[in-house]
Structure 1
Amino acid sequence: MKEKVKEYLLIITGVFLVAISLEYFFIPNDIAAGGLTGLAIVINHYIPSISTGPLVFIMDLFLFVIGFIFLGKNFGVKTIISSFSLAGIMTIIEKFFNPQALTNDLMLAAIFGTLITAIGMAIVFNANASTGGTDTIAKILNKFLNIDIGKSLLAVDFIVTLLGALTFGINVGLYGLLSVIINGIAIDKFIEGFKVCKEVTIISTKNDEIAKFIMDELERGCTFLKGVGGFTGKDTFVLYAVVGRNEFIKLKQFIGKVDPKAFITVGEVHEVMGEGFENIK
């Protein structure tokens, strides 16, 4: 239950960051950076009586129905919550906080708005959810036309940025396209950052004590690998483990106490699956 609550809190946090970037960077500067929100910005220009928050909600609802018809029950509760929460938070901000552009410099708005959006979406994706919206269109194209989801999503976002260019001018349209490109790259990098772990190999005369610390204190597994010392020619054991970043700090401090002469190599791994980490899917 706690895990579920934590996941939903992460989803709301990620969606909140996306809403902030839209309301304080993209919308005031007319940057249509793809997706339903970009399309809502374009529509709002022609129909200013409907604000972007309710527009996103209406389009999300429409796409949800279309997705349910064509894709079946592939829409999880998390995706529904994240997509409608975005529209809800945007509506609240527009109604009660009268959002203004934090900067009128289009380059700064595109860069900072995109980075905040990427962090928010990475948090949502890392909680095994989706922001819905144009993802639904991409999945439908993938199912019936066998077009890769990534390419489908890029095509949809390109159409939205093209509409933005026709509506607000080529310069603003190009900033929207720049945001789409940066966003795709940044999301992957942020998601990798969430999953990064430390891969540690240790050669020490105190391997048994270190292994006990890893298993009992850090609650991680470890493996002994047989080796032969190149200089001494004697049999030895190499201790191998994968731990989280914070856990590695504790491990390093412990090794420093029990065996300051230990030999350690450390590498970064971007995804770990198996017991104690993510399930293999």
Structure 2
Amino acid sequence: MKSALKFNEVIILMVGCLFMAVSINMFLNPHNIAPGGLTGVSIIINTLTGLPIWLINITFDIPLFLFAFRILGKKDASKTLLGIIFLTASLKITENLGNINVTNDVLLSSISGGIVLGIALGLIFRINGSTGGTDLIGILANKSFPSLSVPTLMGFADGCIVALSGIVSKNIEVALYSAIALYIIVKVSDIIVEGINTSTSFTIISDKYMEIGRAITDELQRGATILKGQGLYTGSEKNVLLVVVSKKEVITLKKLVKHTDPYAFIIITDIFEALGEGFKPI
């Protein structure tokens, strides 16, 4: 695999950083909302000192990058460095957006800022990019505390920053709004990275498993897998059908099973992600 960055990755990184800057300068910083990350630290320091967020951000990011450079691969290091540069430039360019005063509602600002920032991070994470910050802190801390995962360490750092936002502003509500924004950021970025769940798994236990299997193949054009099972109480062997379908096929499959064997036992499970033939490519 080539280590050089692709053109589309650079564009996505630029767009993601611009969205981040808009979220911070237009929605979050005007209300001192600090939803974790190094940007949250920058907002807190900006509240205390009045120093520009872009200057604070790069002042922390560059030393962190230098410390983590040996840990990152060549491609990841390039993406991280570009992410730091793009984010710093975007924060500077959008610096005056806070003067627009889009809304005075702090809750609406935390929600809007969280959505925009979540989209931005989702785009950046999709290309395995980074803008520095708590992910680098997590990587570095993981070397000292290998028993704790990087996401756990990042979550701990973000939680501390959210709490600190309330202490600095001397208003517990600011910390609560920051927590709301952080929650939205995590959820939205997950959706952008992983996509909205569109698949469902059926585990079907029936004596008429062959008839059900043929109906699935003929009517839904889906494959199915036969698993071997055994009843705990009776000790008798059971054949279990495992099939994955899209959301729009759930009702059809329920009706199909009911029509073939009304006494079948069905377990229906939402799937986080389905990859392979008939679904998303791996």
* 2:41 pairs with 1:43: no
Change (3 A) 1:268 1:164: closer
How many residues are treated as equivalent by the alignment?
A: 259
User: Residues of 2 paired with 1:184 and 1:147: CA distance?
Assistant: 26
* 2:194 pairs with 1:192: yes
1:139 aligns to what? 139
2:237 aligns to what? none
Amino acid paired to 1:145: F
SS of alignment partner, residue 114 of structure 1? helix
Matches within 5 A, 1:72-91: 73=73, 76=76, 77-91=78-92
User: Residues of 2 paired with 1:105 and 1:30: CA distance?
Assistant: 13
2:204 aligns to what? none
CA-to-aligned-CA distance 1:3-40 (integer Å, 9 cap, x gap): 92222222222222221111111111111111111111
Change (3 A) 1:36 1:181: closer
Change (3 A) 1:270 1:102: same
Cα distance, 1:78 vs. partner? 1.8
2:165 aligns to what? 164
CA-to-aligned-CA distance 1:104-138 (integer Å, 9 cap, x gap): 21111111111211111111111122232111111
Change (3 A) 1:145 1:193: same
2:215 aligns to what? none
Amino acid paired to 2:143: K
1:111 aligns to what? 111
2:13 aligns to what? 11
2:260 aligns to what? none
Q: Unaligned stretches of 5+ in structure 2?
A: 202-224, 226-242, 249-268
2:57 aligns to what? 56
Any conservation in 1 of the 2:29–2:98 contact (CA below 8 Å)?
no
User: Residues of 2 paired with 1:242 and 1:126: CA distance?
Assistant: 25
Any conservation in 2 of the 1:164–1:172 contact (CA below 8 Å)?
no
User: Residues of 1 paired with 2:177 and 2:141: CA distance?
Assistant: 23
* 2:150 pairs with 1:155: no
Change (3 A) 1:36 1:174: same
Any conservation in 2 of the 1:18–1:120 contact (CA below 8 Å)?
yes
Cα distance, 1:242 vs. partner? 9.2
Change (3 A) 1:74 1:182: farther
Any conservation in 2 of the 1:33–1:161 contact (CA below 8 Å)?
yes
2:129 aligns to what? 129
* 2:42 pairs with 1:33: no
Cα distance, 1:81 vs. partner? 1.7
User: Residues of 2 paired with 1:99 and 1:86: CA distance?
Assistant: 20
TM-score w.r.t. the length of structure 2 is 0.66
CA-to-aligned-CA distance 1:231-280 (integer Å, 9 cap, x gap): xxxxxxxxxx999xxxx99xxxxxxxxxxxxxxxxx9754355699665x
TM-score w.r.t. the length of structure 1 is 0.66
Q: Unaligned stretches of 5+ in structure 1?
A: 200-222, 224-240, 250-266
CA-to-aligned-CA distance 1:215-246 (integer Å, 9 cap, x gap): xxxxxxxx9xxxxxxxxxxxxxxxxx999xxx
Cα distance, 1:83 vs. partner? 2.8
| Paired-residue identity, % | 25
